[in-house]
């Protein structure tokens, strides 16, 4: 070889054009390309949920975000978030104690809300109620955008999991599984309700944990193990579902890497370190529910069921989940008491559900032995379903659409595989491909229409519950919240008394329905009383508020409303006092005392009213009660002695 440098031939224009054409032809528009699949999924996720960007707070958003003092503090509240129950701040403010049975330690989503709050501002000065409402609405718009972006990101990570672990070498099945997952209308609650970000983060970090565990299997690098453990810790902090990885991850190695189960469980040992840290954090943060929480059917859905009814109802609910996954025709925000009535083992569907799930377990075991992907799909479905089944732990609700989000990953894997293999059984390849593509397109369009329509219902509490009360007429919670929605409309009708009273009347009807289903739902009584009071019927409000005072004295606002009622009746009594309507005067003062039993002025005026009527015994009785409460009140003692003297003559 000579020492001269070999010169490159000049590139001519026509040659450069030919090279560009070659490069373009190398990029084929193929659905097997991961990048194209990811773009397609992102577009679907965006198009399906873009109409949530203008949404406000709905359902549990207030507990988790707008009325959570730690979230509202921004990053300064992260310490409180990490050391308390998820809803403790809100519930203690509202009820004086945590009234939810069981612990809810899901700090990661709350931390994300706190970071958002920090970016949007935490110093709100002396804003009034209207200013706060507008600010919160604007903030929620941004949070909804973040929710959709996180959902899209989780879809791409899930697609990566399907490509690299579940269906390696089968890009079409991986893509189809991701499509089945992204388009499912059941996910509307998870994406459209910002509070349910915990579900999105949980699936995201579970997927990342599995991916990184398999990466460590290939590389052996400690960096991959460390990152995998970190992802697992984040998954646990998102929601409790990540505990299923204790079984799912070893089985994944068994199926997809043909490793013995012992290898999988041995590989999982380092993950016990973040698991132990999580358990310590949770143990330190989770507090026992307040007194009476377990005796509240709103938190303990099977409180009134017999032992047999409880088990039968829980088995029946499992079939409902399958039905919603296959036919998500009617979607509602709440399936609590008494929307799903208790059932017994005399109900045929209980046995159908039991048979179906026993069959699923049997098929799972058989296919896991064969290292078949459907066995893994069933395991993923059942393992996550078990956590929300109420069979072992009371989760505070009989069922919920958001609760099947994790299990729907297993459902998507199974459906995609069966669809692909089913259409593949057609003899002509062209027909099978076009048939599968056509079916997928129809599925996307139908699901898209259903999802976008359902998203509209999640605009805010008003739209959600006034819509869902028609579909869930026997849910105590939905009726209560529909009534609250009517009250919000009534509040806006300050100038139109007729319209305001129409909304309040409708609210009372919903409260009546809720109380007919559950008479001890004291929040209903508080608000029904408020409706009566605002309609100018304090006599009807007082029995509701008095009942709450007797049985739930810690209920939010009850003392304030009773005090308002007491002052109202006292004022009415003073007005009647200036007339000859002595009986009306006495009645008003009695009602004032009924509202506020320890208010001395009402007793004093009642004693004087009886005295003016010549009813000495009742006059002395009223004044003696006054003197027991306030011995030095005015001339009460002298008046008592005067009446006593007069009564003896």
User: What string of DSSP letters covers 290-356?
Assistant: PTTGGG-TTTSTTTTS-HHHHHHHHHHHHHHHHHHHH---S--S---TTTS----TTSHHHHHHHHH
* Domain membership flag for residue 293: no
Most confident of 99-103, 108-112, 421-425, 436-440: 108-112
317 and 399 within one domain: yes
Question: What pLDDT is stored for residue 31 in this prediction?
Answer: 81
Instruction: For residue range 226-266, list pLDDT tens digits in order.
Output: 999 999 999 999 999 999 999 999 999 999 999 999 999 99
- In total, how many domains does the chain have? 3
Q: Please give the full DSSP string across 421-452, using - where no structure is assigned.
A: HHHHTSS-HHHHHHHHHHHHHHHHHHHHHHHH
407 and 360 within one domain: yes
> For residue 430, what pLDDT band results from cuts at 50, 70 and 90?
low
Instruction: For residue range 501-556, list pLDDT tens digits in order.
Output: 999 999 999 999 999 999 999 999 999 999 999 999 999 999 999 999 999 888 88
Question: What pLDDT is stored for residue 122 in this prediction?
Answer: 85
Assess whether pLDDT exceeds 90 at residue 104.
no
The candidate with the shortest Cα–Cα distance to 331, out of 182, 186, 482, 481, is 186
* Domain membership flag for residue 366: yes
Assess whether pLDDT exceeds 70 at residue 16.
no
Assess whether pLDDT exceeds 90 at residue 47.
yes
> For residue 649, what pLDDT band results from cuts at 50, 70 and 90?
low
579 and 543 within one domain: no
* Domain membership flag for residue 446: yes
Q: How many CA atoms lie within 13 A of 408 on its CB side?
A: 29
Query: How far is Cα 30 from Cα 110, in angstroms, rounded to an integer?
Result: 40
* Domain membership flag for residue 603: yes
Query: How far is Cα 646 from Cα 626, in angstroms, rounded to an integer?
Result: 19
Mean pLDDT taken over the chain: 90
Residue 96: Cβ within 10 Å count: 13
529 and 412 within one domain: no
198 and 168 within one domain: yes
The candidate with the shortest Cα–Cα distance to 510, out of 543, 481, 541, 489, is 481
Q: Is 62 exposed, middle or buried (0-12, 13-18, 19+ CB in 10 A)?
A: middle
Domain containing 504 — which CATH number? 1.25.40.10
607 and 576 within one domain: yes
| Residue 153 in tokens | 């990101």
263 and 170 within one domain: yes
Find the distance separating the first CA and the last CA of the chain, reported in whole Å. Answer: 143
More confident: 13 or 507: 507
Percent of the chain clearing pLDDT 70 (strictly above):
91
Q: Please give the full DSSP string across 370-386, using - where no structure is assigned.
A: TT-HHHHHHHHHHHHHH
571 and 547 within one domain: no
398 and 519 within one domain: no
Peptide bond into 526 cis (omega under 30): no
- Global pTM value: 0.88
Boundary (domain end) residue, out of 556, 588, 623? 556
Question: What pLDDT is stored for residue 334 in this prediction?
Answer: 94
612 and 636 within one domain: yes
Boundary (domain end) residue, out of 522, 556, 590? 556
Question: What pLDDT is stored for residue 23 in this prediction?
Answer: 43
The three-class DSSP label of residue 99 is coil
Query: How far is Cα 234 from Cα 209, in angstroms, rounded to an integer?
Result: 9
Q: Which domain holds residue 441?
A: 30-288+300-456
The candidate with the shortest Cα–Cα distance to 214, out of 287, 160, 143, 152, is 160
> For residue 4, what pLDDT band results from cuts at 50, 70 and 90?
very low
> For residue 26, what pLDDT band results from cuts at 50, 70 and 90?
very low
Assess whether pLDDT exceeds 50 at residue 8.
no
> For residue 28, what pLDDT band results from cuts at 50, 70 and 90?
low
> For residue 480, what pLDDT band results from cuts at 50, 70 and 90?
very high
Q: Convert 240-265 into a string of H (helix), E (strand) and C (coil).
A: HHHHHHHHHHHHHHHHHCCCCHHHHH
User: Average pLDDT of 308-318?
Assistant: 97
575 and 552 within one domain: no
Boundary (domain end) residue, out of 494, 522, 556? 556
Instruction: For residue range 557-596, list pLDDT tens digits in order.
Output: 999 999 999 999 999 999 998 888 899 999 999 999 999 9
* Domain membership flag for residue 461: no
The three-class DSSP label of residue 495 is coil
* Domain membership flag for residue 6: no
Instruction: For residue range 156-209, list pLDDT tens digits in order.
Output: 999 999 999 999 999 999 999 999 999 999 999 999 999 999 999 999 999 999
345 and 273 within one domain: yes
> For residue 429, what pLDDT band results from cuts at 50, 70 and 90?
low
> Lowest-confidence range among 363-377, 498-512, 598-612?
598-612
* Domain membership flag for residue 119: yes
> Lowest-confidence range among 10-24, 179-193, 269-283?
10-24
* Domain membership flag for residue 55: yes
Q: Please give the full DSSP string across 561-626, using - where no structure is assigned.
A: HHHHHHHHHHHHHHHHHTSS-HHHHHHHHHHHHHH-TT-HHHHHHHHHHHHHHT-HHHHHHHHHHH
């Amino acid at each position: 070889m000579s020492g001269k440098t070999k010169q490159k031939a000049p590139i001519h224009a026509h040659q450069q054009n030919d090279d560009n054409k070659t490069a373009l032809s190398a990029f084929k528009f193929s659905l097997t390309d991961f990048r194209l699949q990811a773009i397609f999924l992102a577009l679907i996720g965006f198009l399906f949920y873009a109409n949530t960007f203008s949404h406000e707070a709905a359902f549990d958003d207030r507990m988790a975000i707008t009325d959570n003092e730690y979230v509202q503090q921004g990053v300064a509240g992260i310490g409180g978030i990490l050391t308390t129950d998820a809803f403790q701040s809100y519930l203690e403010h509202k009820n004086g104690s945590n009234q939810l049975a069981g612990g809810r330690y899901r700090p990661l989503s709350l931390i994300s809300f706190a970071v958002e709050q920090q970016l949007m501002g935490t110093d709100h000065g002396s804003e009034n109620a209207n200013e706060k409402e507008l600010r919160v609405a604007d903030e929620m718009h941004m949070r909804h955008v973040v929710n959709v972006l996180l959902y899209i990101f989780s879809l791409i990570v899930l697609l990566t999991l399907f490509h690299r672990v579940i269906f390696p070498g089968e890009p079409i099945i991986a893509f189809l599984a991701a499509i089945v997952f992204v388009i499912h209308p059941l996910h509307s609650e998870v994406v459209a309700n910002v509070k349910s970000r915990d579900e999105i983060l949980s699936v995201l970090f579970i997927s990342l944990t599995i991916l990184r565990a398999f990466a460590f299997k290939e590389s052996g690098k400690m960096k991959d193990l460390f990152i995998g453990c970190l992802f697992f810790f984040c998954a646990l902090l998102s929601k409790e579902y990540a505990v299923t990885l204790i079984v799912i991850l070893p089985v994944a190695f068994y199926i997809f890497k043909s490793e013995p189960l012992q290898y999988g469980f041995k590989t999982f040992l380092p993950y016990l370190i973040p698991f132990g840290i999580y358990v310590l954090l949770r143990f330190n943060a989770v507090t026992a529910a307040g007194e009476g929480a377990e005796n509240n059917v709103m938190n303990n859905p099977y409180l009134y069921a017999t032992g047999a009814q409880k088990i039968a109802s829980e088995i029946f609910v499992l079939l409902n989940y399958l039905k919603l996954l296959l036919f998500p025709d009617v979607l509602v925000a709440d399936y609590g008491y008494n929307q799903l009535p208790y059932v017994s083992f005399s109900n045929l569907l209980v046995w159908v559900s039991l048979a179906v799930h026993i069959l699923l377990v049997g098929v799972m075991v058989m296919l896991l032995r064969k290292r078949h992907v459907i066995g893994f799909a069933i395991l993923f479905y059942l393992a996550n379903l078990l956590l929300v089944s109420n069979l072992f732990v009371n989760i505070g609700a009989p069922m919920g659409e958001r609760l099947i989000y994790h299990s729907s990953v297993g459902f998507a894997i199974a459906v995609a595989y069966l669809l692909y293999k089913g259409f593949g059984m057609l003899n002509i390849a062209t027909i099978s491909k076009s048939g599968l593509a056509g079916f997928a397109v129809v599925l996307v369009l139908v699901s898209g229409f259903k999802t976008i329509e359902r998203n509209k219902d999640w605009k805010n509490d008003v739209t959600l519950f006034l819509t869902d009360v028609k579909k869930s007429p026997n849910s105590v919670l939905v009726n209560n919240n529909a009534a609250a929605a009517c009250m919000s409309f009534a509040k806006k009708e300050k100038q139109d008394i007729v319209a305001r009273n129409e909304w309040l009347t409708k609210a009372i009807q919903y409260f009546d329905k809720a109380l007919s289903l559950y008479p001890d739902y004291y929040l209903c009584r508080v608000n029904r009383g408020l409706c009566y009071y605002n309609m100018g019927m304090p006599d009807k409000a007082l029995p509701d508020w008095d009942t709450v005072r007797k049985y739930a004295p810690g209920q939010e606002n009850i003392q304030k409303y009773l005090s308002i009622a007491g002052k109202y009746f006292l004022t009415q009594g003073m007005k009647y006092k200036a007339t000859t309507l002595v009986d009306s005067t006495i009645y008003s003062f009695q009602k004032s005392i009924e509202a506020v039993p320890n208010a001395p002025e009402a007793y004093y005026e009642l004693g004087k009213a009886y005295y003016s009527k010549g009813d000495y015994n009742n006059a002395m009785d009223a004044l003696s009660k006054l003197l027991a409460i306030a011995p030095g009140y005015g001339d009460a003692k002298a008046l008592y002695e005067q009446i006593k003297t007069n009564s003896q003559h």
